[in-house]
Structure 1
Amino acid sequence: MEARAIAKHIRISPRKVKIVIDLIRGKNLGEALNILSLTPKAASEPVAKLLRSAAANAENNYDMNVDSLYVAEIQANQGPTLKRFRARAQGRGTQILKRTSHISVVLKERE
């Protein structure tokens, strides 16, 4: 049995999120949450929130034991990019890309 959670349109670049999720892939749920609480990256807060949501889904929807859960799969894909312009010299403008992420996690029970 597996429990899933997906967070869409997170306003952090997927490249920055992947640095954080690589730290917790394959770890137990409690250990992953501890790692995220001590990680000084902006992406650690939404990833921790997503892990807690997946754990709640596992407990309430599938009657899984929260103490035996581990991060089976976690990935960060690119979401829609917001295109903005910033003023530059001599009346020109330069495009600024504000990237977003879709983060998905799958928790499974250890045998």
Structure 2
Amino acid sequence: MANQEMKSYSLAEMKDKYIGKLGTQERDEYEYELHMDVLGKMIKAARKQRNLTQEQLGQLVGVQKSQISKLESSANSATIDTVLKVFKALKAEINFNVKLEDNFVRLV
């Protein structure tokens, strides 16, 4: 048997091959869903750190417990207004970066 080397691939190469290249609709949707999932997990972690139940956080924000539950499992159905209200209720600072091509947009 000949000694065969196994080819390894980077995560970026695997995403390009199986999800789609950057800039394609499939890849954009995947990246969006991933970011919304991470945002939901951040909300849940912050809520737990504040020792709040979903119901208590919902009361602070003015929404039902079920909406907080949905938000924590995936924030893709939430409006930016709701997300900001949640972080305000959690007394958590949130920062947004907007990047156009290779330049970050700074608001002064």
> Structure 2 length as normaliser, TM-score?
0.29
| Higher share of residues assigned helix | 2
| Higher share of residues assigned strand | 1
Higher relative contact order (CA 8 A, sep 6+): 1
